[in-house]
């Protein structure tokens, strides 16, 4: 049975929507139409409990699925449910025009009815997950992950790179915390991670999929070892090297020119000395390094030394560190060390003060340099083996810094701690805990992962591998004369569907025909209710863009009524066909809204949708149509105005 449930949001929505007319006009589309005042509250949920059975297909006209979807997901007996956000997408943004707003609600609810018609139950991804974890890197973060997971009862193999050594590690990672805290933490973690199997060696090959990776490890004694693991956590460390300023500042030539890690020893023995601490202007430090610099210079100054810091940009999240340094008497000069001359036991340092545009000279006893922190030297090789992307500085790139900070570009592989960027102790431990939680979540989710998966029609398939190339998650693979779907790698984004030239890949519940039918119905219903009034179709990704449109509702940023939002799993799923279909059905404008550049939750959707729109625009130009009728743009929740701006610009 197809049922419609409308929520009045505690009797507020009738102020802007004519709910009676909606019921009257849409009644024939559904077998039953019920109105409730608060579907999201316990009484509403109980009401749905009694009204909805397992085989029903239902449309919920209420607030956004981001809100009502959460309590309903657990309570609803059916999976065939379409949410029509009549509050955020209609009532709250079209407060001026009740008649048109009601028309829009009717059109969207009818669209919801078509949507559920095409819906199928979600496929449970019932695949084996190996309940063993490999942690690469035995530093703080690696030990923390191992310790966390061992305590959760997971079998962990901890792979330490050949050169790893505990005391050396504490010595070299002083930037993370002071020596004693660091030592204590490492010792504590070594004790709690005892249950992990420790190996010394390097990963030489990786195959398989998320949940079932086969790893070959070359041990230090030359033997090779096969390991089957469910997930991999990369927790490699950083290495320090002398900055490019080293040559100017006679580092290596004079024993009084040192790196900052030696400042503490210098300052403890001698006081009353003049010390110049220099930052390299070409190097962009992390928060951990900036804070470390401030901590060290404060201590040196407190010991009775004159400390001058020639800095370019000291980056720290803790303002107090800077204040404390100032109070302890550290002199900050913004500028670059340009020239150093040795004069007896001292150095004459010339630096240009960029604030005063003036050249200054200091005579100092010691020059202390801030080193550059680079990723572990084996990172690139490891990333090649594991098929991970690196960022500009050579650290391992996270999948999406906001929402998926410990995920890498490859599903099933996570990063923790300094593998991502230099971090202080707390951040590294937090990141490691985050990674272990994500891993654990994956392990206990066995058989529970659900989604609408792409279904491949072998008859239609030309084996052109467009989907294999387009998939950002390696979830489609060519296996002889077949394209096979790897559900554990899949993120259900639908990019493969857009890439397929023949429609051999169809998305469950999001079949091409269903999109075309929905677009057609919106066009027809709009014409019926609104006549010749122009309308806009917005194809929004279900992540950032949809959140932004919801935000427009929350903040009351109104836009014209003839604007219909269709939610796609990812903007990368939109192909020229849906865009052109919108125009054919009479839309004045079609907007494809995606996540901000580089911020796609599925890695490539933002870029792909821009390409698709550009390509479609070229097609339109070629056949004499106005290409400005379609556009791709990003929308993010932080910019609730975006929807208003984009839609208002039309015509």
Contact residues for another protein, defined by CB under 8 A: 460, 462-467, 469-470, 499-503, 512, 516, 575-577, 580-581, 583-584, 607-608, 611-612, 614-615, 618-625
Q: Which residue lies nearer to another protein by CB, 59 or 475?
A: 475
User: Which parts of 377-481 are beta strand (E)?
Assistant: 413-415, 449-451, 454-456, 476-479
Segments in 118-178 forming alpha helices (H)? 140-151, 166-172
**CA-CA distance, 537 to 570, in Å (whole number)?**
16
Structural element, H or E, at residue 219:
strand 212-219
> From the CB of 463, what's the least distance to another protein, in Å?
7
Using the minimum distance from each CB to another protein, give the nearer residue, 451 or 627: 627
Closest CA to 240 of 369, 379, 371: 371
| DSSP sequence for 76-117 | -S-S-EEEEETIIIIITT-TT-HHHHHHHHHHHHHHHHHHHH
Least distance between another protein and beta carbon 495 (Å)? 10
Least Å distance, CB 469 to another protein, is 5
CB 183 within 8 A of CB 364: no
CB of 476 to another protein, least distance (A): 11
Closest approach of Cβ 516 to another protein, in Å? 7
Contact (Cβ atoms closer than 8 angstroms) between residue 296 and residue 263:
yes
Stated as kind and residue range, the H or E segment containing 564 is strand 563-568
389/502 with CB nearer another protein: 502
Judged on CB neighbours under 10 Å (0-12, 13-18, 19+), 100 is middle
**Which of these, 198, 32, 204, 16, lies nearest to 100 by C-alpha position?**
16
The residue (of 327 and 618) whose beta carbon lies closer to another protein is 618
Q: Which is nearer to another protein, 254 or 625 (CB)?
A: 625
Nearer to another protein, 490 or 590 (CB): 590
Selection from 552, 553, 548 nearest residue 567 by Cα: 548
Residue 255: partners with Cβ closer than 8 Å, 6 or more residues away:
none
Q: Which is nearer to another protein, 20 or 462 (CB)?
A: 462
Contact 9, 38 (CB under 8 A): yes
Number of residues that this document lists for the chain: 651
**Nearer Cβ to another protein, position 73 or 457?**
457
The rounded distance, in Å, linking the Cα atoms of 107 and 85 is: 12
- What is the C-alpha to C-alpha distance for residues 232 and 435, in angstroms, rounded to an integer? 10
Residue 622 beta carbon to another protein: minimum distance, rounded to whole angstroms = 4
Q: By C-beta, is 355 or 623 nearer to another protein?
A: 623
The nearer residue to another protein, 393 or 625, going by C-beta atoms, is: 625
Least spacing, CB of residue 284 vs another protein, in Å: 29
């Amino acid at each position: 049975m197809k049922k419609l449930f409308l929520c009045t949001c505690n009797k507020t929505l009738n102020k802007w929507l004519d709910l009676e007319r909606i019921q009257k006009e849409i009644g024939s589309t559904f077998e039953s139409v019920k109105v409730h005042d608060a579907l999201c509250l316990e009484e509403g949920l109980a009401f749905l409990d009694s009204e909805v059975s397992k085989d029903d297909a239902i449309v919920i006209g209420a607030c956004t699925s981001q809100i009502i979807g959460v309590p309903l997901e657990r309570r609803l007996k059916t999976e065939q449910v379409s949410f029509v956000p009549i509050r955020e997408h209609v009532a709250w943004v079209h407060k001026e025009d009740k008649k048109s707003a009601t028309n829009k609600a009717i059109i969207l609810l009818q669209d919801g009815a078509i949507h559920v018609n095409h819906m199928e139950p979600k496929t449970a991804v019932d695949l084996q997950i190996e309940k063993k974890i490999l942690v690469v890197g035995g530093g703080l973060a690696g030990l923390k992950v191992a310790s966390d997971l061992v305590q959760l009862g997971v079998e962990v193999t901890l792979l330490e790179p050949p050169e790893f050594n505990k005391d050396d590690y504490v010595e070299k990672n002083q930037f993370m915390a002071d020596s004693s805290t660091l030592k204590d933490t490492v010792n504590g973690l070594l004790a709690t991670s005892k249950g992990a199997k420790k190996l010394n060696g390097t990963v030489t090959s990786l195959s398989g999929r998320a949940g079932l990776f086969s790893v070959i490890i070359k041990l230090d004694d030359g033997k090779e070892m096969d390991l089957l693991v469910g997930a991999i956590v990369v927790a490699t460390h950083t290495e320090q090297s002398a900055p490019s300023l080293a040559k100017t500042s006679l580092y290596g030539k004079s024993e009084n020119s040192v790196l900052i890690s030696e400042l503490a020893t210098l300052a403890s023995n001698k006081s009353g000395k003049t010390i110049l601490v220099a930052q390299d202007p070409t190097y962009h430090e992390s928060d951990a390094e900036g804070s470390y610099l401030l901590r060290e210079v404060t201590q040196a100054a407190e010991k009775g030394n004159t400390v001058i810091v020639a800095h370019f940009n000291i980056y720290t999240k803790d303002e107090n560190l800077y204040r404390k340094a100032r109070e302890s008497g550290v002199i900050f000069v913004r500028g670059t060390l340009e020239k150093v001359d040795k004069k007896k036991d001292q150095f004459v340092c010339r630096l240009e003060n960029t604030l005063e545009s003036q050249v200054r000279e200091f005579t100092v006893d010691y020059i202390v340099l801030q080193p550059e922190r680079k990723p572990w030297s084996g990172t690139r090789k490891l990333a090649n083996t594991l098929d991970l992307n690196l960022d500009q500085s050579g650290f391992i790139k996270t999948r999406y810094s906001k929402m998926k900070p410990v995920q890498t570009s490859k599903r099933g592989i996570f990063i923790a701690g300094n593998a991502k960027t230099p971090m202080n102790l707390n951040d590294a431990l937090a990141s490691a805990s985050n990674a272990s939680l994500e891993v654990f979540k994956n392990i206990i989710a066995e058989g529970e992962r659900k989604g609408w998966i792409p279904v491949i029609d072998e008859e239609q398939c030309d084996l052109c591998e467009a989907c294999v190339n387009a998939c950002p998650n390696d979830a489609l693979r060519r296996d002889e004369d077949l394209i096979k779907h790897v559900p554990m790698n899949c993120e259900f984004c639908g990019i493969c569907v857009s890439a397929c030239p023949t429609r051999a890949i169809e998305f469950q519940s999001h079949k091409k025909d269903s999109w075309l039918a929905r677009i057609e119905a919106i066009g027809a219903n709009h014409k019926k209710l609104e006549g010749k009034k122009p309308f806009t179709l917005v194809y929004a990704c279900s992540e950032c863009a949809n959140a932004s449109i919801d935000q427009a509702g929350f903040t009351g940023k109104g836009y014209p009524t003839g604007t219909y939002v269709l939610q796609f799993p990812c903007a990368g799923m939109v192909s020229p066909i849906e865009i052109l279909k919108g125009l054919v059905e009479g839309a004045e404008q079609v907007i494809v809204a995606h996540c901000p550049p580089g911020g796609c939750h599925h890695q490539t959707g933002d870029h792909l949708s821009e390409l698709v729109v550009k390509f479609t625009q070229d097609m339109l130009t070629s056949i004499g149509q106005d290409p400005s009728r379609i556009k791709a743009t990003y929308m993010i929740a932080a910019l609730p105005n975006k929807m208003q701006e984009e839609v208002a610009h039309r015509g």
